[in-house]
Structure 1
Amino acid sequence: MAIRSGRGHTRPLRVPTRPKRGRTVTASLPLGPVLRHVGTTTATVWVQTSAPGRVRVVADGGVTAVADTFTVHGHHFAVCEVTGLEPGSATPYEVFLGEERVWPEPGSAFPPSTLRTLDPDAPTRLLYGSCRTPTGDTPEGVVRYGPDLLRATARRLAAEPVEGNLVMLLIGDQVYADEVQEPMRAFLRGRRGEDGDGPEDEVVHFDEYAELYRQAWSDPQVRWLLSTVPALMVFDDHDIRDDWNTSAAWRRTMDDRPWWRTRITSGLGAYWVYQHLGNLSPAERDKDPLWAQVRAARVDAGDEVDAFALRAYEEPESYRWSHRHDIGGVRVLMLDTRCGRALGEGDPSDGSRSILGASGHAWLDEHLTGGPDHVVVASTVPVLLPPAVHHLESWNEAVCAGAWGGWLRGPAERLRQALDLEHWGAFRYSFERLADTVGRVARGERGPAPASVLLLSGDVHFSYTAPARHRGVGEGGSRILQLVSSPLCNRLPSNFRRMARLSASAPVHLAGRIMTWLARVPSSPLRWRLSSGLYFGNTIGEVSFAGRTAQARWYHVVQGGPDALPEVHSTVDV
């Protein structure tokens, strides 16, 4: 048997060795390995281990990386940086804890896990999606939530050769901390007993987050996918709590709950450990102040992680969660649209209310430039919603700020929270600033104009395409396109689908325009429309780039059981 490397060559399949007969296996990986940040010659492997010790990643050809574990609240982790790999290669690897081989697991039906490095000259494919509730594709899970597209993608990639650069963007709601399934509820009941210190159906403590991640990422198919396809991640609200940082009023309400301080500390700390740490390049990780503290901790770094997380919540400007990656000719900007929000309650145009915060906008201005063949802005919440919803959110923000008098501010705030009016349209300053920057990039005013500026998003639990035009961008400028793929596994109930379809209708669009005009909301420099209807099934999006051309696809599972392969639902030339 043979597998293909990223350059199209074949290399022998290395048969994993098995533990010697009669030997007791004491070490294990509760989670991982997860392949995270990759470069042309480097690959980051993240693991969670059952005990402290030394982790070795051993790749074919004798390349080895070694790292000691670090401990956070009694849980053990390691980050191994494998160096000396060939550009554009796919190298099988094994993981050892001490002298014990802990990956791959004996009897795995999947191909060997591989370290996939980047080739600057190769075509690039980006998989992306959000909003996943783990069900294992059980019959009852499929009926309620639909088929799991991460599991289906694992089956697809295990059955077909992978050429060029392939990277997966997980853009929000990797876990649902506030809408847990029965296995997690059972864990909470067993941990807390009858006198719980938080909501019975929500996680609060770091230990509970650790179990939440274990249940989300330990499915064998998902685990193999994460071990062999480089993944970049960013949080959305459910990673912490629904509607996280919707407004200053929402935040005040949460701050008054006795368990919230523990919850936000645990959630952000767990996110840094499980998701964000692997987004960083070796150089970025070495500059991270918390990474230095964690590595220096003598026994357990729980206190250091908690202090960091609480400060990141109370002082959003103290840490940057957004990150940039250049993959071949594609620049990917992963945006923090949650933790860094500025939640002022004054004039919506003065910047005191912002979806990125001052430092987030400064970072985006620095990196959203021309030069690459394509620029991808990954925002968990869509920048371009169905126009009627965008108008509703802009109107609501204006009324919450007093555009129709102080007596309507309270009802408008209640409406904002009830209808989740908290996307880019509800942050006019941020929307206009991003729209202006995108327009200047598309006109070639910030470096050579890329072929496209793509806005990749999830969150809304339906998928669509929205081509856009910016005033002043002629036919020779970059193409601007919003691509949404959501959910991976959390299908909307039928009543919510009806509401979403209504929101995209022409009469509601007209009503929204009238409402924003009456609230004196300035017109947008961007004009967009939905090029097709809303699709409500579970999907994973894929964008393929070759030079200055690109094509977007959406995969879904039409029929069949838990072993069904995904099929292409729709295709758009970019």
Structure 2
Amino acid sequence: MVELLVGPMLRYVDSTCASIWVETSEPCTVRVTAGEASAEARTFTVHGHHYAVVDLDRLTSEPVAYSVALQGRKVWPVEGMPPSVVRAMPEAGPRRVVFGSCRSSLPHDAPHIESHGVDMLHEYAIRMAASPVEEWPDLLLMIGDQVYADEPTGDVLEAIRERRKPGEEPVDELADFDEYAALYRQAWGDPEVRWLLSTLSSAMIFDDHDLRDDWNTSASWRAKMAQVSWWPRRVAAGLGSYWVYQHLGNLSPAERGKDPVLAAIRALDGDGAELLDAFALRADAEPEGTRWSYARDMGSVRLIMLDTRAARRLTPGDRRMVDTGEWEWLAEQVVGARSMDNLLIGSSVPVLLPVGIHHVESWNEALCDGAWGKRVARWAEAVRQMVDLEHWAAFRRSFEELSRMLVACGTRVILLSGDVHYSYLARLRGGRVYQVVCSPIRNPLGRLILWANVVAGFGIAGAGGWVLARLARVPRPPYKWKIDEGPWFHNALSTVELRGLPTIIWEGPADGPDRGSGAGIAELHRATLEA
């Protein structure tokens, strides 16, 4: 009997239609019914796993409970859980957008709360289920590291060890599509989180741990990984599973209808594994030919979710955060947002870092490019990879060009980022450009690393970063900025209130920064942005 393995997940939503994603145990027809609206889709198969995306139309802004049937048998909702509802995006745009990044997938029980802190997505789901629909956000943005392919835990790690010979590489890391599928089931299988993702529209973009720590840090890193025998298999599995589990749901029905990979797999009478693997390897080898970034217009808000990993140009001496084609696309999207009230840009890695850290990363990039000679360049490259000096500041030309572009845009720009495992608010002087960072959802820094970040980011680097940058003849950034609020080192989620002047609210566990019983959510801080 066919079963529902993952989902339903409410993904793309606009003012009239919604897309619902599922994974099933066998090939089947999936039907979704929401009031008078009903639609169905046939599953497609890759690597022996079965998926469907069902598009509902004729939606209204009123929430409507929906059900899912497989081969005519209702499998959702399940007993003991609140009804899952679907509602159209308000025509004026989202009222509230909640976001975060970096979530380790572990049970939400006492031992794992003790080791990894409260899962804020789990706690948010509990609060949301008990709140009026009017208080719910309209959109959830998951900005990187939805899964940790290089740090699997729990049942997934045990399964990896059972199916491999002792010492078989990659040791205690994911190797293939089956293992990624298990990791996604773990990440999204918590009952409360599963309900949340079935009811709250979500948009996602990857960061390095979705594939591997330091992914595309530099040309040297890629050259090193190219010599690793298991790496191509990991790339095929990582990008292929990302395409299935995250990317397809980011697309509108029209965009998905133009996806050549999906069309080719659906046209098969069988498994599309070879097609998907070939696409994933090609996307990695020739990133200019694949765009993972996407944009949505929602009333007076434009959202750009930017790929800051796969699209990088890593040429020493001319590093760019995104390649030429991606940059031209981004510039077009930013210019087109001038009539909007707010431009939200999801960048997994922050654009505006603590100033001292920014200068250290730009200094390191200059050294990697030979500012102090070849011997120092080799040392600098090792440091770049060891301490993750790979944010926008480490792609200085892209940082400067983006800063000028966003200031010239004139629209209020709110950059939404994660990655660094702490949260803060910064503002770029000279324009209406804000950086909001919220990280992690659940993966707190250890005490020693936490204090090392405080000292480096807000102490030593702040005092000496600019001196080092000047010694390497790094030019001054075109604008100044500073951290206005924060940092906070809690597990956290952040809400962007978009009616009137935007207000940013950071929330964490009610009982402490990174430990507790999971007994609710507390407000950490709020800030209202200037006009």
The letter for the 2-side match of 1:453 is V
Number of aligned residues: 523
Residue pairs, 1:172-321, within 5 angstroms: 172-194=144-166, 196=168, 198-321=169-292
Kept in 2, the 8 Å contact 1:554–1:569? The answer is: yes
Instruction: Say whether residues 1:371 and 2:339 are aligned partners.
Output: yes
Kept in 2, the 8 Å contact 1:89–1:118? The answer is: no
The letter for the 2-side match of 1:241 is R
Measured after TM superposition, the shift of residue 121 of structure 1 is 2.5
TM-score, with structure 1 as normaliser: 0.89
Residue 391 of structure 1: which of 359, 365, 379 is its match?
Answer: 359
Kept in 2, the 8 Å contact 1:31–1:217? The answer is: yes
Residue 327 of structure 2: which of 361, 365, 372 is its match?
Answer: 361
Instruction: Say whether residues 1:533 and 2:486 are aligned partners.
Output: yes
Measured after TM superposition, the shift of residue 527 of structure 1 is 1.1
Measured after TM superposition, the shift of residue 204 of structure 1 is 1.0
Instruction: Say whether residues 1:152 and 2:120 are aligned partners.
Output: no
Q: In structure 1, what is the equivalent of residue 304 of structure 2?
A: 333
Instruction: Say whether residues 1:47 and 2:22 are aligned partners.
Output: yes
Structure 1 portions without partners, runs of 5+? 1-25, 347-351, 443-449, 474-478
Distance in 2 (CA, whole Å) between partners of 1:165 and 1:117 is 12
Distance in 2 (CA, whole Å) between partners of 1:69 and 1:507 is 55
Measured after TM superposition, the shift of residue 294 of structure 1 is 1.5
Give the match's secondary structure for 2:316.
coil
CA offsets, 1:308-365, max 9 Å, x none? 000000000011000101223211100000011111012xxxxx31111111111110
Kept in 1, the 8 Å contact 2:2–2:28? The answer is: no
Give the match's secondary structure for 2:108.
coil
Q: In structure 2, what is the equivalent of residue 95 of structure 1?
A: 68
Measured after TM superposition, the shift of residue 565 of structure 1 is 2.0
CA offsets, 1:432-453, max 9 Å, x none? 11011011113xxxxxxx2x21
Instruction: Say whether residues 1:79 and 2:32 are aligned partners.
Output: no
Q: In structure 2, what is the equivalent of residue 166 of structure 1?
A: 138
Kept in 1, the 8 Å contact 2:509–2:518? The answer is: no
Kept in 1, the 8 Å contact 2:28–2:70? The answer is: yes
Q: Measured at CA, do residues 122 and 385 of structure 1 come closer, stay the same or move farther in structure 2, by a change above 3 Å? A: closer
Give the match's secondary structure for 2:483.
coil
Give the match's secondary structure for 1:275.
helix
Distance in 2 (CA, whole Å) between partners of 1:161 and 1:80 is 27
CA RMSD of aligned residues (A): 1.4
Give the match's secondary structure for 1:118.
coil
Q: In structure 1, what is the equivalent of residue 429 of structure 2?
A: 469
Q: Which runs of 4+ in 1 moved over 3 A?
A: 193-196, 560-563
Distance in 2 (CA, whole Å) between partners of 1:44 and 1:338 is 26
The letter for the 2-side match of 1:54 is T
Distance in 2 (CA, whole Å) between partners of 1:402 and 1:417 is 16
Residue 521 of structure 2: which of 558, 561, 566 is its match?
Answer: 566
Return 556-565 or 156-165, whichever deviates more.
556-565
Distance in 2 (CA, whole Å) between partners of 1:377 and 1:243 is 22
Q: In structure 2, what is the equivalent of residue 23 of structure 1?
A: none
Q: Measured at CA, do residues 126 and 264 of structure 1 come closer, stay the same or move farther in structure 2, by a change above 3 Å? A: same
Distance in 2 (CA, whole Å) between partners of 1:396 and 1:415 is 8
The letter for the 1-side match of 2:406 is V
Kept in 2, the 8 Å contact 1:155–1:563? The answer is: no
Give the match's secondary structure for 1:266.
helix
Instruction: Say whether residues 1:114 and 2:74 are aligned partners.
Output: no
Q: In structure 2, what is the equivalent of residue 22 of structure 1?
A: none
CA offsets, 1:211-267, max 9 Å, x none? 010111100011000000000000000000001000000011111000000000110
Distance in 1 (CA, whole Å) between partners of 2:204 and 2:30 is 23
Give the match's secondary structure for 2:485.
coil
Kept in 2, the 8 Å contact 1:27–1:102? The answer is: no
Measured after TM superposition, the shift of residue 492 of structure 1 is 0.3
Give the match's secondary structure for 1:397.
helix
Q: Measured at CA, do residues 193 and 345 of structure 1 come closer, stay the same or move farther in structure 2, by a change above 3 Å? A: same
Q: In structure 1, what is the equivalent of residue 440 of structure 2?
A: 487
Kept in 2, the 8 Å contact 1:485–1:554? The answer is: yes
Q: In structure 1, what is the equivalent of residue 33 of structure 2?
A: 58
Kept in 1, the 8 Å contact 2:438–2:506? The answer is: yes
- Bigger CA radius of gyration: 1
Q: Measured at CA, do residues 416 and 286 of structure 1 come closer, stay the same or move farther in structure 2, by a change above 3 Å? A: same
Kept in 2, the 8 Å contact 1:248–1:344? The answer is: yes
Q: In structure 2, what is the equivalent of residue 20 of structure 1?
A: none
Kept in 1, the 8 Å contact 2:492–2:507? The answer is: yes
Kept in 1, the 8 Å contact 2:175–2:230? The answer is: yes
Give the match's secondary structure for 2:487.
coil
Measured after TM superposition, the shift of residue 170 of structure 1 is 0.3
Q: Measured at CA, do residues 533 and 503 of structure 1 come closer, stay the same or move farther in structure 2, by a change above 3 Å? A: farther
Measured after TM superposition, the shift of residue 192 of structure 1 is 2.3
Kept in 1, the 8 Å contact 2:107–2:190? The answer is: yes
Distance in 2 (CA, whole Å) between partners of 1:357 and 1:497 is 33
Q: Measured at CA, do residues 233 and 280 of structure 1 come closer, stay the same or move farther in structure 2, by a change above 3 Å? A: same
The letter for the 2-side match of 1:53 is C
Give the match's secondary structure for 1:546.
coil
Kept in 2, the 8 Å contact 1:342–1:357? The answer is: yes
- The sequence identity of aligned pairs, in percent, is 46
Give the match's secondary structure for 1:534.
strand
Measured after TM superposition, the shift of residue 99 of structure 1 is 1.6
Residue 105 of structure 1: which of 72, 78, 82 is its match?
Answer: 78
The letter for the 1-side match of 2:31 is R
Measured after TM superposition, the shift of residue 508 of structure 1 is 2.6
The letter for the 1-side match of 2:505 is R
The letter for the 2-side match of 1:379 is S
Distance in 2 (CA, whole Å) between partners of 1:274 and 1:507 is 41
Q: Measured at CA, do residues 326 and 515 of structure 1 come closer, stay the same or move farther in structure 2, by a change above 3 Å? A: same
Return 480-489 or 352-361, whichever deviates more.
352-361
Kept in 2, the 8 Å contact 1:118–1:165? The answer is: no
